Amino acid sequence: MAGNWTERRVVVTGIGVVSALGRNPLVFWDNVLAGKCGVQPITAFDASAFTTRIAAEVKDFDPVPAFPSAKDARRADRFAQFAVFAAEEALRDSGLDLNTVDLDQVGTFIGSGIGGLHTIEEQHKVYLAKGPSRLSPFMIPMLILNMGSGLFSMFRNLRGPNVATCSACATATHALGEAWRTVKMGDANVMFAGGCEAAIVPLGLGGFCAMRALSTRNDDPQRASRPFDRDRDGFVMGEGGGVIVLEELQHAKARGARIYAELAGYGNTADAHHLTTPAPAGEGAARCMRMALRSAGMNPEDISYINAHGTSTPQGDIAETQAIKTVFGGHARKLAVSSTKGATGHMLGAAGAVEMALCVKAIECDVVPPTINLENPDPECDLDYVPGAAREMRVDAIVNNSFGFGGHNATVIARKFA
Check if the beta carbon of residue 159 is closer than 8 Å to that of residue 103. yes
Is 209 designated active site? no
Residues sharing a CB contact under 8 Å with residue 324, sequence separation 6 or more, in sequence order: 282, 289, 306, 308, 332, 335, 337, 383
Is 346 designated active site? yes
Closest CA to 377 of 319, 336, 317, 322: 317
Neighbour-count burial of 10, counting CB atoms closer than 10 A to its CB (0-12 exposed, 13-18 middle, 19+ buried):
buried
Q: Alpha-carbon dihedral of residues 327, 329, 333, 338, nearest 10 degrees?
A: 0
Closest CA to 1 of 175, 272, 183, 202: 183
DSSP state of 67: S
Q: How far apart are CA 334 and CA 345, in angstroms?
A: 27
Is 381 designated active site? no
Closest CA to 260 of 45, 83, 16, 58: 16
DSSP state of 34: T
Distances (CA, A) of 329 to 8, 289, 320: 31, 13, 14
Closest CA to 236 of 218, 215, 207, 209: 215
Distances (CA, A) of 180 to 5, 265, 276, 321: 12, 8, 27, 26
Residues sharing a CB contact under 8 Å with residue 38, sequence separation 6 or more, in sequence order: 19, 20, 21, 31, 56, 57, 238, 343, 344, 345
Residues sharing a CB contact under 8 Å with residue 139, sequence separation 6 or more, in sequence order: 119, 123
Which among 346, 359, 381, 408 is annotated as catalytic?
A: 346
Residues sharing a CB contact under 8 Å with residue 138, sequence separation 6 or more, in sequence order: 75
Which among 169, 288, 359, 381 is annotated as catalytic?
A: 169
DSSP for 76-106, written as a single string: S-HHHHHHHHHHHHHHHHHT--GGGS-GGGE
Q: Which helix (H) or strand (E) holds 190?
A: strand 190-197
Catalytic residues: 169, 309, 346
